[in-house]
Structure 1
Amino acid sequence: MAEQQRIDRFLKLMNDRGASDLHFSVGRPPMLRVGGHIEQIRYRTVKETDLTDLMKPITPPMRWQNFVDTGDTDFSYEVGEIGRFRVNLFKQRRGSGAVFRIIPTNIMTIEQLGLPTQLRKLASVRNGLVIVTGPTGSGKSTTLAAIIDLLNETKGYHIVTIEDPIEFVHTNKKCLIHQREIGTHAPSFAEALRAAGREDPDVILVGELRDLETISMALSAAERGTIVFATLHTNNAIKTVDRIVSVFPAGEQEGARNVLAEGLQGIVAQQLLPKIGGGRVAAVEIVFASPAISNLIRRGKVGQITSLIQGGVRQGMIDMDASIRNLYEEGRVTARA
């Protein structure tokens, strides 16, 4: 128990400092990410034995073995009143490393997050695929949690989430929500997606479209009429479409474009920028499905999507450059953003 209390003190410091992330790396002192910037904690250099003493007691045994065998693992960790954390444990050149990211206990609404209100439209789609995309740490999970919570407040759906690990915990309101964690409740995203098809879902949330099998099954679920929300690590709508199609073998890419063109309902691309006065603010690109966009995807002309986004302002669409420009004109970010 002593080792757990030791890590908990670091997490309390993280919480008190308002940090989003806590980093441990063998050969360096612990570090915090505050306001988007890394800051060193006044503490001695971490040794391999230190990291083992800190991490092994709080890591589920199966996850620890996975770390030993493969070099990295993910899990979630909760500390009483301090909060809940997503944890990545990994091996690197100097030894081992670990990153804790705080998961807010309260799920914030789209409005509370300062996101465009037109994102509420995504809670009204009746089927198909919605992708939230952006670099690591851009708030994808937070945005999806807000959308799922809006569904939970307003719809009578059965929602199945597939995550690695489970981040935001949803209580049942109007919806019945089952949250499944990879490694704990299912061996892989693909296996969990396959099982979800037999669980009578209205909505499936896929924590990450990691590989061909997962992407193919998500597209198939959307094609069957299920609402599928998923995340991807790309920077904008064009790269999102290209990434999905490119994972398929060359002979299957035309078919993948056709399925994506029919099933895609929306893409939300976001990035967090340094905010004037401290903190960070989200710049968001929003694309809603339209016959013209579907036609471009089907024909492989995705480079022309940007002009349709720019012309779709009345439908609530906005491209990334315009979103950043709006933030600058509102005095929320500097010209360097």
Structure 2
Amino acid sequence: MEQVAKSSSVSSRRISKGVELSRVFPVDIANREAFMLEHEPSRITVEDFRQLLMSCVLSGASDVTIQSDMQPRAEIHGILYRATRKPWSPSEVDMVLMEVYGGSNARTEINGMKVLDFSYELNLEDGSKQRFRVNAIGIYGRDGKGVEITLRALPVKTPDLAMVKLSNIELAALKPKDGIIIIAGATGSGKSTTMAAITRSQLEDVDHPVKIVDIQAPIEYTFRDVTNAVRGSSSTIGQSEVHKHIPNFAEGVRAALRRKPNIINVGEARDFETIHAALEASLTGHLVYTTTHAGNVPDAVRRLLSVFPANERDARAFDLISAMRFLMVQHLVPRIDTPGRIPVREYLRFTPRLKEKLVAADINEWPSMLIDEVHGRIENIGEEDMCQSLLQVVKPLYSKGMISKNDAFVLGGLAAVDTPPQGEL
């Protein structure tokens, strides 16, 4: 009996105090209000912040934004709601910053014009952890030194293929033997979630065990639920976090080459050094996955090429095309028929035919050529060719009344809305 009481006491101490008060709160769509504290104190404490944050998660929020002198905002199914009745003062936001960063030097770092990317986690009552990806940056405030903290809630369970709605055909194209796979999209489009689902499927493939090196900033998915649950798989994953275990992505990729991996995941291809290192790895027989910010396939290629110095652009462009296997651009579109969002994807497989065609042309012609490829405006399509435009996906979703006319128009253009949804005249 004494032992049980002792264990219970230890367990309660491990819980992040405040989360036990969290619950699902109603959402007022008309007024864009989703107040996450039933009784708001005159001054917010760490426990209040934890309660609010976990209540946001339970209420379906994907992101929470906290700014000096502003009411916190919760993004639920793609819509922003005010999450408290009163604004949070600069000192309250500084308290939150210290809590999530884990030290008092966060404010000093931000005052030094640094952008902080890190992770934060809450210990829940059932013994599990709720993890968050956090970005903290200086903004204009009352005294000119405000702070914005953005917290992205990460699923406790590693996403699977069903969750991200990837078909078997798409998955096969996303899992070649070697080369580079690009998953592009805007911030919040689910790039990391899709990449994690692919990684999960690789770890769970008992017949084809692999060693994966995962480089992130910060680490969003630990894959522990996958590696602890798999029986008979000898796959392994080693994760490194930028600014915690390694100085940058490029150094992480270079170090990965000495670890004899089969697969290298690079959280984001954001600069010349990272893209160069990823290309080198993919051209030496490794399979490399990475993400970038872009709205469509031609823009993604243009963005990757833009980071190369002018005197190296042509040579690196050919390296990129040689290494490229599949490029997918993803958007998450709010549904109007039911709560939630639906993934909309444009993609293109880089086949030998397409590569030869691009290599024979000037790189300035590539964007228009890629547009023709994505939209199927070419002849002599082979069996291995694979492409899909945003219009192909958006138009039927709009016609079925699943997405709005505005979203269909923005993504697919006028052709996506030239036929009214079912039920409209």
Local SS of the residue matching 2:279: helix
Local SS of the residue matching 2:199: helix
Contact 1:328 1:335 in 2 (8 A): yes
Local SS of the residue matching 1:156: coil
Gaps of at least 5 residues in structure 1 are: none
Tell me the CA shift for residue 63 of structure 1. Answer: 7.5
Contact 1:262 1:294 in 2 (8 A): yes
1:1-337 matches, cutoff 5 A: 4-61=46-103, 64=106, 66-81=109-124, 83-94=130-141, 95-154=146-205, 155-171=208-224, 172=227, 173=230, 174=233, 175-276=235-336, 277-298=338-359, 299=361, 300=363, 301-302=365-366, 303-311=368-376, 315-337=385-407
Local SS of the residue matching 2:221: coil
Which residue of the partner structure matches residue 5 of structure 2?
none
TM-score normalised by the chain length of structure 1? 0.94
Q: Distance in 2 between matches of 1:62 and 1:33?
A: 28
Local SS of the residue matching 1:20: strand
Give the stretch that moved more between structures: 72-81 or 292-301: 292-301
Tell me the CA shift for residue 224 of structure 1. Answer: 0.5
CA RMSD of aligned residues (A): 2.0
Q: Distance in 1 between matches of 2:382 and 2:97?
A: 49
Compare CA radii of gyration and give the structure with the larger one: 2
Give the stretch that moved more between structures: 302-311 or 48-57: 302-311
- Deviation readout 1:264-303 (Å, 9 max, x if unpaired): 0101101111112222111101211212321344232321
Q: Distance in 2 between matches of 1:235 and 1:23?
A: 24
Gaps of at least 5 residues in structure 2 are: 1-15, 18-44, 408-425
Question: Size of the alignment, in residue pairs?
Answer: 337
Q: Which amino acid aligns with 2:60?
A: G
Contact 1:110 1:147 in 2 (8 A): yes
- Deviation readout 1:86-128 (Å, 9 max, x if unpaired): 1111110111110111111112222232234422114530100
TM-score normalised by the chain length of structure 2? 0.75
Local SS of the residue matching 1:86: strand
Q: Which amino acid aligns with 1:292?
A: R
Q: Distance in 2 between matches of 1:329 and 1:296?
A: 36
- Deviation readout 1:228-253 (Å, 9 max, x if unpaired): 00000011111111111121111211
- Deviation readout 1:175-233 (Å, 9 max, x if unpaired): 11001101111011111111111111111100011110111111111011110000000
Local SS of the residue matching 2:187: coil
Contact 2:176 2:325 in 1 (8 A): yes
Give the stretch that moved more between structures: 160-169 or 239-248: 239-248
Q: Cα–Cα, structure 1 residues 63 and 254, in superposed 2: closer, same or farther, change >3 Å? A: farther
Give the stretch that moved more between structures: 133-142 or 245-254: 245-254
Q: Distance in 2 between matches of 1:170 and 1:67?
A: 31
Q: Distance in 1 between matches of 2:245 and 2:131?
A: 19
Local SS of the residue matching 2:57: helix
Tell me the CA shift for residue 57 of structure 1. Answer: 2.6
Percent of aligned positions that are identical: 28
Local SS of the residue matching 1:74: strand
Q: Distance in 2 between matches of 1:110 and 1:238?
A: 26
